Amino acid sequence: MYEVCCSARSVSPMIALSSATAGTAVSAFRVPVVQIVAQPRENTKGQWGKQLKEYDPATTQYKQVSIYTDFGAGLRADGSIGLFGSTDSQTSQVPTGPFSRISVGHRFGVALRLDGSLAAWGHSESGQTQIPSGQFVAVETGPDFGLALRPNRKAVYWGPTKNGVQNVPDVRFRQVACGQSFAIGLKLDGSLIAWGIQPSGSTVFSLPSFLI
C-alpha cells in the first residue's frame, strides 16, 4: 500500500513505536514517549531536541499518531483521542469519539467520526476549526488549513484563502496530503497533482510521472 505525505512540520518527528511479533498484523502501537529531534537554533547550545511527553499512561495503545511541532494527538484503540506535548485551554478540549482518523496542525486538530462527519478543536484564528458539514472518508491538516475527501473522492478545503492552496483541483483523489502552504493529491488513476506555493515561493511542482 502506497501513501502520499507532505512535511508541514518545522521539525522532523521521530516516533518510537513498539515492536510487533513477526508475522502478525500491527493494528495498534504504543508511544510511551515521542522524541522530536531537531537541529539547534543559531546561537544556542545544547538544544538538540525536546520531548513530547504524553498525558496518557505509558500503556496506552494508539492506532494512529499525528504531530505538528510540539503538539500531538493519538487515536486510541477505542477511538478516543489522547494528547501529548504542549497544550493549552483550547487545544486540550478534545471532542468525544469514537473516531477513525485524526490530524493536527498548529494548535488545532480535526477528527473523522465513524459516521463520516468531522469534529475539530483548538485555536481558529484562520478558520481552521470551521469544518465543513456532511460526510467524509479521510481528513488531513496543514498548519492552519484542512482538506477532507467526500465519499465521491472530491476534496473540500477550509481555512485561510491564501497561497492558492484553497484552489483544489476538480478531480477525484485516492488520498491528499497537506504541506506548509501547498497540498499534494494522489488521483484515482495513480498520478500525482500538487497545488499551492512551495517553501521556495515557486508554484511549479516537479512531480514524478510514474503511476502509483
Distance CA 105, CA 86 (A): 13
What DSSP string describes 151-195?
A: TTS-EEEES---TTTT---SS-EEEEEE-SSEEEEEETTS-EEEE
Residue 163, pLDDT score: 84
Cα(121)–Cα(105) distance, integer angstroms: 11
Residue 33 pLDDT > 60, yes or no?
Answer: no
The rounded distance, in Å, linking the Cα atoms of 25 and 21 is 8
| Higher-confidence position of 153 and 24 | 153
Confidence of residue 174 (pLDDT cuts 50, 70, 90): very high
Long-range contacts of 120-128 (CB under 8 A, 24+ apart): 120/95, 120/146, 121/90, 121/91, 121/93, 121/94, 121/95, 122/90, 122/91, 122/93, 123/90, 123/91, 126/159, 126/160, 127/158, 127/159, 127/160, 128/158, 128/159
State yes or no: pLDDT of 25 exceeds 60: no
Q: Which residues pair with 183 in a beta bridge?
A: 178, 195
Averaged over 33-41, what is the pLDDT? 36
The predicted-structure confidence for 135-173, as pLDDT tens digits, reads as follows: 999 999 999 999 999 999 999 999 998 889 999 999 999
pLDDT tens digit sequence for 179-207: 989 999 999 999 999 999 887 777 777 77
Q: Which residues pair with 83 in a beta bridge?
A: 73
181, burial (CB in 10 Å: exposed 0-12, middle 13-18, buried 19+): buried
Task: State how far Cα 78 lies from the chain centre.
Answer: 20
Amino acid at 67: I
Average pLDDT over residues 107-116: 97
Q: How confident is the model at residue 130 (pLDDT cuts 50, 70, 90)?
A: very high
Position 205 scores a pLDDT of: 74
Identify the pLDDT of residue 210. 58
Q: What digits encode the pLDDT tens for the residues 49-92?
A: 344 444 444 456 788 889 888 888 999 889 999 988 888 889 89
